[in-house]
Structure 1
C-alpha cells in the first residue's frame, strides 16, 4: 500500500453536493512518498527519484522527501490516491457461470451492441488501422476474446507495485472495459466489442494495493498520446474536487496533459461518474470546509469532477433499459435502452454524449436463466474469476459477466470513436468527436443534461 496521510484530501464531511452525500463517493488521500512537480524554470530533479518524466508537458512525478522536493522545484503538490467508484449493483453482479444460458452469449445478452447497431457498423469498418488505450485496472491478456486485439508489447504498468500490465487480485474492471471496446468474439463463441480490429493497449494505473495514483493516470494519458493512440478510455474519476487551493494545481496539470493528448491526436473518452450528481448545479451548498463548526456557502463553480470536466474531455453519461431480461426484446421493456441510468452523473455542460452503460431495478430479483432478471439490464462482456489450481496457486480464469456504470458507457463511445477514425483516417481528435456529436440526438421525453449532444449513434457517425 502507498503511504498516505490520515487527512482526506477531499474535506466535505456530511455535505450534500449536487444531490449526493459527499463522503459516499470517491475518496482521495494525499500521498507522502510521491509528488507531482513542475519542471519549468530552475527545477533540479537530480536528488529525487523520477517515477514518470511525462515528455510533452512540463511536469513530472517524483519520489522523495518533501523537504528535498521543496528545495528542488518551485511548484509541486503531493500525489493523491483515488479509489475506483462503481454502482453498488456490481458487487453482486452475476457471471455467465451463474446462469444456465446456452449458446453464443454475444447473440442475445449484448443489448448494448444491438441498440447501437454495431453489426451494421461493422459492414463499414471494425476499427482497422486505429489504436485505443484503456487506462484502467489492467486487461487480462489470456482472455480468448482479447488476445488478438491486445498489443502486449505496448501495454504497460504505470503503478509501482512491481507487476506487469495484467490485472492484479480479482479486479476485472479493466478487462470488462476493454471487451466493450474491442472483444473479437473469441473465434465465434464469445462476445463482441465495438472495434474488434483496433490495436488495444492496456495502461494499468490501479495497483495491487488498491487505488490509482493521480500521477500514474497523468503519465498514462501522456504515454497514450506519445504512442499515437487515436483514443484513450478513462473509466475512472474523482468527485467532488475543489477548484480552490490544491485543486487549482491538480486541475492545471491535468489540463496540460489532456490538451497535449488532444494536440497529438488522442481523443480522451472519460466516464462522467456514478453519483447521480448534477454536475451543473453543485453550488450554493453549506459545507464546513475548515472543520471550525461553521458552514460556508459554496459559490462560483466551487466543485469540479475530474478528469471528465477537464480540458478536451469527451464526457460520457450512462443509459440502459429496465426489464430486458423479461422478454429479450428492446421494444418490450419498461424503460428503453437510451433512457438515463439511475446512477449516472449529468449536467448540461458536463456531459458530451450518452451511451449504453446499463441500468437496473434491483426489485427485479426473480430468476431468469438462473440469474436475477435485473442483471440482463447491465452490460455483458469479458471478465475473469480467481480460482486455485491443483497446486493451490491462484489463477485468473477468463469468463463473461455483467457490470453497470458510466465506466461501461465510455468504452462504447471509445470503440465508436475508433470506427470513425478508421473510416476517416485523416480526422484529428476534434473531428472524430465532432462526427460523434453531429450524429447523436437527444431522445424525446428526456433532458439534454443527461445527453450533451445526444445518444450515441455509431452508424450515422461513420
Structure 2
C-alpha cells in the first residue's frame, strides 16, 4: 500500500458516505428577486394560509404540512397562522465517499468477490433460492443511477431530479421527471481543491434527469438491486427488484469558497463547482418515494454530528414529519449512520436524517461482522448493522495478509463506465454501502409477504439479525442483517 493510497482512504473514509457540510442558504429561482427560500413546518395544511398572506409557495410535502417557500425574510412567514417553524433551506456541499476502484471489466464473474452477500455475512445468495425481489422497488435518494449499466434495472420513468432553485427545469419548478432530458453538469476536469470541489467550470452533457452525475448512486443501486444472470457482473441483495433514481445531488457553482492562497494562510474567496443539495431536495425525495409506493427509500447521505438542542430545530421537525409520513404510507426508510467514528449514544449527539425516529439507521460492518473503524455507533441510534466494508481498524483494512485483503474487504458494486474511465465496477466503503443492503432486504421480505406494513418489515429485519448480544448492541443494534431468516420469517407471517 503506497502512502498515497493510505492518505486517500483516510481522507475519504473518515469524512463520510456522502457526508454533507452546510454551506449557506440557497437563493431563490428568480435572480431578480430579493426573496430567499425557507422550509416551513405547520400544525396542519398550510399552503392556502401562506398564499393568502402573500408568501410564494414553491412546493409542499407530507400532506401540505412541510413547505418550500420564498419570502424576503423568515419574519414574513412566522406570523402566518399554524406555522410552527421557519428555517432557511440550507444548502449542503458533499464532502466525499471512501472508495477504491478495481480493474475488473464488466464481463467478469464477480459474485465470488462479494463477501457482503456470502453465508457468513448477510446470506443473500442463499436467500435468493426463495426470494429475489421480483416486482418490488427501491428508491435510491442519491446522485442518480446510470440507466445503461448492464447490472442495474433503473426505472427512470418513475424517478425524479429534485433541485429547489429550479435551475434544471424548463419551467423553473423544483422537480424534473427522471426520464426528461436535461443539460447536466458533470464532475469538472479542473483542479480539485477539496473533496467534490473543483476550480473551473464543469463539463456538461444532455442526459436523463435521473442519470448519475457522480457514481455514488449507481454504486448504492447495485448493492441493493444489482441484476445477476449467473454469468456476468455482481448481484444485489434483491437482484430482480427495480431501482428508482431520486437524484438530489447536482453540480453547482458556489461563490465565496475560502481558498488558501499562500503558505501564510492568506485566503481569498473564489468560485468553485461543488456537488450540492438542500434540505428540501432531500425531504421532497422522501415524500415522492412514498407517493410512488416503493418498498424502501435508501438515503446514503447525512450531515455532521449535532448535539443537544438541535433536536428541537425546525429542520429536525421537518425530517421527522416527512420520514414518519413515508413510513405510515408503507415505505421503509433506510439511512446510513455516518462515518465519523462518533458515539451517538451520549451527551445528546445525533445526525440527520439517520437519527430521526421511524428511519432504519444502519452501521457498517466488514467481513468479520464487526463494526468498521469509521462507522458511527450508539444504542440510541443504530437499528441494525450491514456490510459497508473494512475492518475494525484502518491498519487491518489496509493490510495484505488478511482473508479479504485491501481493497477486497470493501464493498464491490456498480459504477457508470463513462464517469470511471470505462470501468463498470468498483470497491467503495462507508455506511453508504451498508444502508442499501437493508433496503434490498426490504424488497426480499415484501416479495414473500407484500401485505406487511413498514413497521412490520422493520421488525422482521431486526428480529432476524445476528451477531448482537441482547439485540441492543451500541455497534450493531439488533445485529447484522441476515436475509435467509428474514425471508423465512416473512413467509410465516
| TM-score, length of structure 2 as denominator length | 0.72
**1:80 aligned to 90, 114, 121, which one?**
90
Q: Indicate whether 1:219 and 2:284 are aligned.
A: yes
Q: Indicate whether 1:440 and 2:465 are aligned.
A: yes
Pairing 1:103-182 to 2, within 5 Å after superposition: 104-114=108-118, 115-146=121-152, 149-159=153-163, 160-162=166-168, 163=182, 164-168=209-213, 171-182=214-225
Structure 1 Cα separation of the partners of residues 15 and 222 of structure 2 = 32
Pairing 1:220-235 to 2, within 5 Å after superposition: 220-235=285-300
Structure 1 Cα separation of the partners of residues 155 and 421 of structure 2 = 19
Per the TM alignment, residue 183 of structure 1 is displaced from its structure 2 partner at its CA by: 0.9
The residue number in structure 2 matching 1:380 is 412
**What SS does the aligned partner of 1:232 have?**
strand
Contact 1:77–1:246 (8 Å) recurs in 2? no
The residue number in structure 2 matching 1:407 is 432
The residue number in structure 2 matching 1:52 is 59
Pairing 1:22-421 to 2, within 5 Å after superposition: 26-33=20-27, 34-38=37-41, 40=44, 43-45=49-51, 47-66=54-73, 69-70=76-77, 73=80, 74=83, 75-86=85-96, 89-90=98-99, 93-97=100-104, 104-114=108-118, 115-146=121-152, 149-159=153-163, 160-162=166-168, 163=182, 164-168=209-213, 171-185=214-228, 188-209=231-252, 210-244=275-309, 248-281=313-346, 283=347, 301=348, 303-321=349-367, 336=368, 338-359=369-390, 361=394, 373-386=405-418, 397=422, 399-421=424-446
Structure 2 Cα separation of the partners of residues 243 and 255 of structure 1 = 16
Structure 1 Cα separation of the partners of residues 76 and 240 of structure 2 = 45
Structure 2 Cα separation of the partners of residues 340 and 186 of structure 1 = 31
Contact 1:384–1:396 (8 Å) recurs in 2? no
Structure 1 Cα separation of the partners of residues 106 and 88 of structure 2 = 51
Specify whether residues 48 and 139 from structure 1 end up closer, same or farther in structure 2 by C-alpha distance, changes over 3 A only.
farther
Specify whether residues 213 and 32 from structure 1 end up closer, same or farther in structure 2 by C-alpha distance, changes over 3 A only.
closer
**What SS does the aligned partner of 2:341 have?**
coil
Specify whether residues 447 and 62 from structure 1 end up closer, same or farther in structure 2 by C-alpha distance, changes over 3 A only.
closer
Structure 1 Cα separation of the partners of residues 475 and 78 of structure 2 = 47
Structure 1 Cα separation of the partners of residues 397 and 109 of structure 2 = 21
Specify whether residues 277 and 249 from structure 1 end up closer, same or farther in structure 2 by C-alpha distance, changes over 3 A only.
same
Structure 2 Cα separation of the partners of residues 436 and 245 of structure 1 = 30
Structure 2 Cα separation of the partners of residues 81 and 381 of structure 1 = 29
Per the TM alignment, residue 68 of structure 1 is displaced from its structure 2 partner at its CA by: 8.3
**What SS does the aligned partner of 1:125 have?**
coil
**What SS does the aligned partner of 1:238 have?**
coil
Per the TM alignment, residue 420 of structure 1 is displaced from its structure 2 partner at its CA by: 0.7
Contact 2:59–2:67 (8 Å) recurs in 1? yes
Deviation string, structure 1 residues 183-239 (Cα, Å, up to 9, x no partner):
103783111111121132110011122122111100111111111111110111112
Per the TM alignment, residue 397 of structure 1 is displaced from its structure 2 partner at its CA by: 4.7
Specify whether residues 258 and 158 from structure 1 end up closer, same or farther in structure 2 by C-alpha distance, changes over 3 A only.
same
CA RMSD of aligned residues (A): 3.0
**What SS does the aligned partner of 1:306 have?**
coil
**What SS does the aligned partner of 2:304 have?**
strand
Per the TM alignment, residue 444 of structure 1 is displaced from its structure 2 partner at its CA by: 6.9
| TM-score, length of structure 1 as denominator length | 0.76
Structure 2 Cα separation of the partners of residues 268 and 50 of structure 1 = 26
Deviation string, structure 1 residues 224-260 (Cα, Å, up to 9, x no partner):
1111111110111112234536952111111110110
Specify whether residues 375 and 201 from structure 1 end up closer, same or farther in structure 2 by C-alpha distance, changes over 3 A only.
same
Specify whether residues 363 and 418 from structure 1 end up closer, same or farther in structure 2 by C-alpha distance, changes over 3 A only.
closer
Contact 1:241–1:247 (8 Å) recurs in 2? no
Specify whether residues 305 and 364 from structure 1 end up closer, same or farther in structure 2 by C-alpha distance, changes over 3 A only.
closer
Deviation string, structure 1 residues 123-163 (Cα, Å, up to 9, x no partner):
111111322111111111111111xx211111110124414
- Number of equivalenced pairs: 387
The residue number in structure 2 matching 1:426 is 451
* Unaligned stretches of 5+ residues in structure 1: 1-19, 284-300, 322-335, 388-394
The residue number in structure 1 matching 2:491 is none
The residue number in structure 2 matching 1:12 is none
Contact 2:74–2:86 (8 Å) recurs in 1? no
Structure 1 Cα separation of the partners of residues 452 and 363 of structure 2 = 24
Specify whether residues 365 and 123 from structure 1 end up closer, same or farther in structure 2 by C-alpha distance, changes over 3 A only.
closer
Per the TM alignment, residue 374 of structure 1 is displaced from its structure 2 partner at its CA by: 1.2
